[in-house]
Amino acid sequence: MTTTIFRPIQAAVTRGKGAPFVLEQARIRAPEGDEVLVRIIATGMCHTDMIVRDQYYPVPLPAVLGHEGSGVIEAVGPLVQNLEVGDHVVMTYGYCGHCLACDSGHAAYCKDFFGRNFSGAGPDGRNALLDEKGEALHDHFFAQSSFATYALGRENNTIRVPKEAPIELLGPLGCGIQTGAGAVINSLKVTPGSAFAAFGGGAVGLSAVLAAQVAGASTIIVVDVVPSRLELALELGATHVVNSRESDPVAAIREITGGGVQFALESTGRPEVLRQAVDALGSRGALGVVGAPPLGTNANFDVNDLLLGGKTIRGIVEGDSVPKKFIPELVHLYMQGKFAFDKLVKFYDFDQINQAAQDSEKGVTLKPIIRIQK
């Protein structure tokens, strides 16, 4: 009989729908197979943590959320081949690695994406976390559950990054930042000299703005309703901003571009904004949809406008990122001063996690990063 070894950890637990995160003592089991145990240094907080806390997505509770972890490898399972203890890593979304989508380089559309990221347990249905009473906590959120001092990932979602990069900053590259940047670079393939509009200037939308500059877009428009976000968008390189509480964004974009943008990204998760984004596309324009509304939400658009305009609307998960390639590329761009995503973040201590959530929801903080430990 083998005995499972557990290590004491501290974790922020979500015990009920909309309930605050509560710091609790818990335990995590040692890595098995291709699993990797990461000592979490910091973790970004993303809108998706909040929509799961509020149960828009039915992850079973009580659970440990958190899915933008960064840290240092503490231990590896016996089947891990290319990572070692001491590596600095960013944790990203989970995928099976052997379905058709994964095999063809599109792991963000893995046939088991929901199971690997939102089921609240590992692929074998087991939990790796126990609370103080010895009861199982739902975990494996985005194949990590990184609102904790330690997190278990797998080799394929634990991405090595250079040791000279600031590890406490890098976690958001694993989800929100790679989603916005990847949507522009990998999915829409924004071209030099083109016009791009971000509907929503949160962490995802403004990462897209940074990436649109890397891609060489010459007109970059941000639509939002929060004046401070629009100001930041201009600082980050947007050429125009539109406050859609004050003016009609579709008319404004048509005027700025002389007919509509070639590329747009919807990151508000609001169907009425999605409609505006479709309407603001120029002839043969393409819209990427990343904003996540509650499951079952419908949206509408004018079919003939879509058809006669040759427009494209496509959903995008995680910026179509191949994480092992794209995350290090973003780190290099950052280190070269070409992708200043540090301007989006504000750091909080672990015991300020609820303040971070509140500030994010109020729009005061764009991308909170929770410092878990040194």
In this complex, which beta carbon is closest to ligand NAD, that of residue 128 or of residue 188? 188
In this complex, which beta carbon is closest to ligand NAD, that of residue 47 or of residue 311? 47
Please select the residue that binds ligand NAD; options are 29, 39, 160, 270, rule is CB under 6 A.
270
Shortest CB 368 distance to ligand NAD, Å: 10
- 226 contributes a contact to ligand NAD by CB under 6 A: yes
- 268 contributes a contact to ligand NAD by CB under 6 A: yes
Please select the residue that binds ligand NAD; options are 66, 171, 291, 368, rule is CB under 6 A.
291
Q: What is the phi/psi pair of residue 171, to 5°?
A: -50, -45
- 202 contributes a contact to ligand NAD by CB under 6 A: yes
- In this structure, are residues 327 and 159 in contact, taking their beta carbons and an 8 Å threshold? yes
| The pair of three-digit structure tokens given for residue 111, joined into one six-digit string | 């046939």
For residue 90, the SS3 value is strand
Please select the residue that binds ligand NAD; options are 19, 136, 237, 244, rule is CB under 6 A.
244
In this complex, which beta carbon is closest to ligand NAD, that of residue 127 or of residue 239? 239
- 165 contributes a contact to ligand NAD by CB under 6 A: no
Cα separation, 347 vs 171, in Å, equals: 12
Shortest CB 246 distance to ligand NAD, Å: 11
Q: Which one, of 256, 303, 312, 307, lies nearest residue 281 by Cα?
A: 312
Please select the residue that binds ligand NAD; options are 13, 42, 47, 157, rule is CB under 6 A.
47
Helix (H) or strand (E) holding 252: helix 249-257
In this complex, which beta carbon is closest to ligand NAD, that of residue 73 or of residue 177? 177
Do the strands 69-76 and 88-91 form a parallel or antiparallel pair, or are they unpaired?
Answer: antiparallel
Question: Which residue stretch of 7-15, 98-106, 222-230, 349-357 sits at the interface with ligand NAD (rule: CB under 6 A)?
Answer: 222-230
In this complex, which beta carbon is closest to ligand NAD, that of residue 27 or of residue 140? 140
Cis peptide before 162 (omega within 30 of 0): no
Tokens 């794209």 belong to residue: 326
| The pair of three-digit structure tokens given for residue 170, joined into one six-digit string | 């890098």
- In this structure, are residues 290 and 267 in contact, taking their beta carbons and an 8 Å threshold? yes
R_g of the chain computed on alpha carbons? 20
Question: Which residue stretch of 78-86, 118-126, 310-318, 323-331 sits at the interface with ligand NAD (rule: CB under 6 A)?
Answer: 310-318
Please select the residue that binds ligand NAD; options are 120, 122, 171, 205, rule is CB under 6 A.
205
Question: Which residue stretch of 78-86, 141-149, 151-159, 198-206 sits at the interface with ligand NAD (rule: CB under 6 A)?
Answer: 198-206
Stated length of the chain: 374
Shortest CB 364 distance to ligand NAD, Å: 11
In this complex, which beta carbon is closest to ligand NAD, that of residue 176 or of residue 282? 176
Q: b vs e for 244-253, b when ≥16 Cβ sit within 10 Å of the residue's Cβ?
A: beeeebbebb
Q: Which one, of 360, 147, 181, 337, lies nearest residue 265 by Cα?
A: 181
- 242 contributes a contact to ligand NAD by CB under 6 A: no
- 200 contributes a contact to ligand NAD by CB under 6 A: yes
Please select the residue that binds ligand NAD; options are 23, 51, 99, 364, rule is CB under 6 A.
51
- The DSSP letter of residue 274 is H
Q: How many CB atoms lie within 10 A of CB 166?
A: 15
Q: Which one, of 88, 85, 75, 92, lies nearest residue 168 by Cα?
A: 88
Q: Which residues contact 267 (CB under 8 A, 6 or more apart)?
A: 180, 198, 199, 200, 202, 204, 205, 208, 290, 291
Cα separation, 157 vs 142, in Å, equals: 9
Please select the residue that binds ligand NAD; options are 68, 224, 320, 329, rule is CB under 6 A.
224
Please select the residue that binds ligand NAD; options are 20, 115, 328, 363, rule is CB under 6 A.
363
Residue list 312-341, contact with ligand NAD (CB under 6 A): 316-318
- Over the window 166 to 185, marking each residue x when it contacts ligand NAD by CB under 6 A and - when it does not, the resulting string is ---------xx--x------
* Sites of contact with ligand NAD (CB under 6 A): 46-48, 51, 175-176, 179, 199-205, 223-226, 229, 244, 267-270, 273, 290-292, 316-318, 363, 366
